[in-house]
Amino acid sequence: MAIKWHESLAVGVAEIDGQHQELFRRLNQLLEACNQGKGKESAREMVTFLQEYVVEHFAAEEKLQRQSGYPGYAAHRAQHAEFMIAAGELKFTLEEQGPTLPFIITVNKVIVDWLTQHISKMDKDLGRYLAAKGQGKA
């Protein structure tokens, strides 16, 4: 059950779209590992990667927002903070319970759902704002 990147998720900023595509690629690696019975070994690596990569990704998005005077910055940043809390909780659960199959399913559901919804709403709004200012070209 792979998750697919599609152009409807593009926000029109090459750096951000590339980072989103990398997140999808990594999630697909985890799903593939699960299908091959390797999911348990991949869970810790995936959660660690996500925590590190989203810090970089969120910093890039937030820098663009500050530089452009984006009016939705505070709300956008708050959503990023919520995701980081959820990722931390997942990592804590992983360390407490181990990388069980239910944990892996939860990781995928939490991350995939949040990422797709966040891109579809918050990041697309940012992309439209930047495009209107002439800053959104890829």
Q: What is the mean pLDDT of the chain?
A: 86
- CA 9, 12, 16, 22 torsion-angle sign: positive
Kindly report, residue by residue over 121-132, the tens digit of the pLDDT.
999 999 999 999
Q: What integer is the mean pLDDT of 2-26?
A: 90
Domain boundaries, the chain: 24-33+41-131
pLDDT digits (tens, 9 = 90+) for 46-105: 788 888 888 999 999 999 999 999 999 999 999 999 989 888 888 888 888 777 777 777
Q: Give residue 1's pLDDT.
A: 56
Res 39 pLDDT > 70:
no
Closest CA to 20 of 70, 60, 69: 60
Cα angle for residues 18, 124, 91 (degrees, 5° grid): 60
Structure letter (DSSP) for residue 100: -
Nearest to 94 by CA among 55, 45, 52: 45
> What is the pLDDT, as a whole number, of residue 98?
75
Residue type, 38: K
Q: Which pLDDT score, from 0 to 100, does residue 138 have? A: 44
**Which carries the bigger pLDDT value, residue 104 or residue 10?**
10
What contacts 80, CB < 8 A, 6 or more positions away? 54, 58, 61, 62
Percent share of the chain, pLDDT over 70: 91
* CA distance linking residue 73 with residue 63, whole number of Å: 10
3 state DSSP class of 69 = coil
Q: Which CATH number fits domain 24-33+41-131: 1.20.120.50, 3.90.1010.10, 3.60.20.10, 1.10.3720.10?
A: 1.20.120.50
Chain-centroid distance of CA 58 in Å reads 9
